[in-house]
Amino acid sequence: MALEALDDLYREVILDHFKNPRHHEPLTVHDVEEEGFNPLCGDQLFVQLKIEQGVIQDIASWGKGCSISQASASILTEILKGKKIEAVERDIQFFKDVMNRRSDLDQQDMGDLEALVGVRNFPVRIKCALLGWTTVEAALKQFKQVEGGRCKKIQS
């Protein structure tokens, strides 16, 4: 078996997102910022959200880590931007379920998440793919808790 066996993990889309990450610059104004950390490998990720009337108006993520964690975070910004908080929460849960092979989601349309589905075949890398998503989850939790959903704008 040669490196081609890895094509399912390192899809072109993933390498493209890794090398040219989207929404990579800190926002000028944000409502909440969260840092995610994977203690196993030292991967680090920052997520900023600008939320208006329950909608993710803008999003940024940047950090240091492997191609999977960074590409997943970049893909996530494209998927989540413009969505309602409830929809984002559903997406996060859906993505976790997909990664953990919960239920029979395989039949469903994965949409843009499709690129990350191959990661499931590499169990030690699933944590990498999840980092961005759990960081957004924590950011939303913080947003709801600290500000009671009514956030002051923070100038970066």
Partner 1 sequence: MDMKEIKKDFPILDQSIRGHRLVYLDSAATTQKPKIVIEAIQRYYETMNANIHRGVYHLSEISTLAYEETRKKVAAFLGAKDARSIVFTRNATEAINLVAQSWGGKHVGEGDEILLTEMEHHSNIVPWQLLAQKKGAILKYVSVQSNGTLDLNSIDSLISERTKIFAFTHVSNVLGTMNPVKALVEKAHERGVLVLVDGAQGAAHLPVDVSDLGCDFYAFSAHKMLGPTGVGGLYGKLDLLEEMPPMLGGGEMILEVHKEYSTWKSSPEKFEAGTPNIADVIAFSKAIDYLKKITMEVVHQHEKELTQYALARLMELEDFTLYGLKDAQHRAGVISFNYANIHPHDLGTLLDHQGIAIRTGHHCAQLLMRTLQVPATARVSFYIYNTKEDVDAFMLALIKAKEYFNRGTRSAR
Binding site for partner 1 (CB under 8 A): 1-3, 5-6, 9-10, 12, 15-16, 19-20, 40-44, 64-68, 122, 125, 128
DSSP annotation of 153 reads: P
Q: Which is nearer to partner 1, 40 or 109 (CB)?
A: 40
Q: Tell the smallest beta-carbon distance from residue 128 to partner 1 (Å).
A: 7
Q: Give how far the C-alpha of residue 142 lies from the chain's centroid of Cα atoms, to the nearest Å.
A: 16
Q: Tell the smallest beta-carbon distance from residue 17 to partner 1 (Å).
A: 9
Q: Which is nearer to partner 1, 12 or 104 (CB)?
A: 12
The residue behind tokens 């970066």 is: 156
Q: Tell the smallest beta-carbon distance from residue 21 to partner 1 (Å).
A: 8
E strand map for 53-146 = 55-64
Q: Tell the smallest beta-carbon distance from residue 48 to partner 1 (Å).
A: 20
Q: Tell the smallest beta-carbon distance from residue 44 to partner 1 (Å).
A: 6
Q: Which is nearer to partner 1, 19 or 141 (CB)?
A: 19
Q: 3-class DSSP state for residue 147?
A: helix
Asked if 65 and 87 count as a contact pair (C-beta separation under 8 A), the reply is no
What phi, psi does 10 have (nearest 5°)? -95, 65
Count, in order, helices (H) and strands (E) of the chain: 4, 5
Q: Which is nearer to partner 1, 32 or 131 (CB)?
A: 131
Q: Which is nearer to partner 1, 65 or 132 (CB)?
A: 65
Q: Can you say whether residue 95 is alpha, beta or left, with left for phi > 0 and alpha for psi between -120 and 50 degrees?
A: alpha
